[in-house]
Chains A and B, each alone.
Chain A
Amino acid sequence: MNGHVLAPGTAAGEALVLDEPLSLWGGLDPNSGEIIDAHHPQHGAVVTGRVLVMPAARGSSSSSSVLAEAARVGTAPSAILLGEPDHILAVGAAVAEDLYGARIPIVVVDPRQLASIRAGQRLRIEGDGRIGPG
């Protein structure tokens, strides 16, 4: 599997597959890494160290701050795979790297390929956007 890199880096982890888009602002507690959006199907799941797989990002433009704060606290996902580009998360990752040296690769993958990723599957993300078994 190959994708378009929005934020570079290498990472590995278990896939946390979201059934619906998530707004990190109001949806992720950066202090615990937990999904706190009560309306979200994966409410209660912890993103920390996982490869977060979601069809799209959603909602608030403050999600970049939440991603950077999660990186500072150490609760961020190890990588994010998206079905469509999102500049809000891309900037959050860039700031996390600049301020804290934390790299959270973000890769846009063809939505059909994204849908083939199973929850719990171990994945490895390479700097050029290649995604393989971890």
Chain B
Amino acid sequence: MGAALAMRLVVRVAQALDAERLIPITRAHVDSCLYHGQASLDFAQRLLDGGARVSVPTTLNVGSLDLLHPELWRGDPEHAERGRRLMEAYRALGCHATYTCAPYQLSDARPGLGEQVAWAESNAIVFANSVLGARTERYGDFTDIACAITGRAPNAGLHRTDARRAVLVLRLAADVPEALRDADALYPVLGIVVGRRAGSRVAALDGLPPGLSEDRLKAIGAAAASSGAVAMFHAVGSTPEAPTLEAALHGGQPEAVVEITIDELRAARDALSTADAVPGAPIGAVSLGTPHASVAELHHIVAELAGRRVHPDVELLVATSRGVLAAAEEAARRLQDAGAELLVDTCSYLGPILRPTPLPVMTDSAKWAYYAPGNIGARVVFASRRECVESAVRGRVWRDPALWGDA
């Protein structure tokens, strides 16, 4: 019964995508565990009552609340209870209680090159396709768990080799300073520009340093999937299907080659701030870890704190997964000793988690900056991670004047 419903939904998606057949998948990542209303619970209960279980290893995306630190929830307890019940329901369907938007950071959840999977959550989709070379279409609520139960996905879109060809080349212009290319801060902003330029098309990014870290590629993808509908990009010299530009283009010609100039990047950076970002202005909070911080990023934050404490008037919130937290106990302890709060299982822009403040919130995440004003009414100052950490210590906006080479 539950399995039949799941199959009906997969077939409905296949018809909408004009797929002629279904293909087997090896894994799934499910976003349906985030509460959007009673319908979320009714659907999960229908599957459970029908005896459905996932048939492939399945990870879970973030839910509404932090099950390990429930005291961080500041909203309606009834809403929290519904969110918790939904998170539990998906576990009962056989999914792993990972509750992270960055399942690719969990060593046993990473699909390999060419592996057919069904992933939901926009940043995870773009990471799976681009950085891991696994193959997934953009799946979402209901469809993700339906694929996990049936172990099938439509043979359409990015599951197929032809759809993975770059049709657009975005090249970093010569006026982008060398030092900025080596700074983490460039990559979320570049991602915003990629999303605007590419829309839903697959773009090849050229002119970037080779061998970009997974954290930088994560930042590009999360931002590009916020400002556009990007489900895959190629970073020439970094991602597995783009050892060369020719490989990313599958030997074909692009529709267009566009240069990304420093002016376009600076404008995109400035548009991510919705609050006055003058150095010295007081801030109320700093939110890091969207998508969830990796072990390496937790270590960077510890290093940037350099043994200092967070300013007493500022809440420094670092979001990560329970899996990464368990793998970085020492870094986590040092963050807490410095006065930072660690959040797992959810994200601070999804609900009432940050301490209410009339002051702006600083973030190093383009995705957080993009969604938090609408979702939780935050006024945002976008900055680099180092600027965020330094500002959290000082209680006021601190800027690195050299970073962007601004006049």
Question: Which A residues are closer than 8 A to B by beta carbons?
Answer: 6-7, 25-26, 30, 37-38, 58-66, 68-69, 71-73, 85-88, 90-92, 94-96, 98-99
Contacts and interface: CB of A to CB of B under 8 A. Distances in A.
A99 B15 contact: no
B36 interface: yes
B374 A91 contact: no
B122 A61 contact: yes
Given A72-B38, A72-B39, A64 B141 contact: yes
A87 B13 contact: yes
Contacts of B140: 60-64, 88, 91
A48 to B, nearest CB: 16
A69 B37 contact: yes
B64 to A, nearest CB: 12
Contacts of B17: 85, 87
Contacts of A69: 36-40
A98 B46 contact: yes
B39 A91 contact: no
Contact of A99 (B18, B34, B42): B42
Interface in B35-81: 36-40, 42-43, 46
Give the interface centre of A66, A72, A98 by most chain B CB atoms within 10 Å.
Answer: A98
B141 A65 contact: yes
Contact of A87 (B5, B12, B46, B120): B12
A94 B43 contact: no
B113 interface: no
A92 B374 contact: no
A62 B61 CA distance: 12
Contacts of B46: 98-99
Interface residues of B, number: 34
B9 interface: yes
Contacts of B37: 30, 65-66, 69, 72-73
B38 A65 contact: no
**SS class, residues of chain B in contact with chain A:** helix
A92 B16 contact: no
A96 B17 CA distance: 20
B229 A95 contact: no
A29 B304 CA distance: 41
A98 B38 contact: no
Interface in B257-277: none
Contacts of B229: 58-59
Contacts of B122: 60-61
23 contacts: A7-B12, A25-B36, A30-B37, A58-B229, A59-B229, A60-B122, A62-B36, A63-B140, A64-B142, A66-B37, A72-B37, A86-B16, A87-B17, A87-B143, A90-B13, A91-B9, A91-B13, A94-B8, A94-B9, A95-B142, A96-B39, A98-B46, A99-B43
B43 A68 contact: yes
Q: Which of B8, B34, B122, B143 neighbours the largest number of chain A CB atoms within 10 Å of its CB?
A: B143
A91 B142 contact: yes
A71 B40 CA distance: 12
Given A98-B5, A99-B46, A62 B34 contact: yes
B345 interface: no
B206 interface: no
Contact of A65 (B5, B18, B36, B121): B36
A67 B46 CA distance: 17
- The winner among A6, A63, A73, A91 for most chain B CB atoms within 10 A is A91
What 8 A-B pairs have minimum CB-CB distances, sorted nearest first? Answer: A61-B140, A69-B37, A87-B16, A65-B36, A69-B39, A68-B39, A65-B141, A90-B16
B142 A90 contact: no
A26 B5 contact: no
Given A7-B12, A88-B141, A91-B140, 16 more contacts: A6-B12, A26-B371, A58-B229, A61-B138, A61-B140, A61-B141, A62-B34, A63-B140, A66-B37, A68-B43, A68-B142, A69-B37, A85-B18, A90-B12, A92-B142, A99-B39
A133 to B, nearest CB: 27
Contacts of B40: 65, 69
Given A94-B9, A99-B42, A38 B374 contact: yes
Contacts of A59: 229
B139 interface: yes
B387 interface: no
Contacts of B9: 91, 94-95
A26 B142 contact: no
B337 to A, nearest CB: 37
A26 B146 CA distance: 24
A27 B150 CA distance: 31
B16 A65 contact: no
Contacts of B32: 65
Contacts of B371: 26
B390 interface: no
Contacts of B143: 61, 64, 87-88, 91
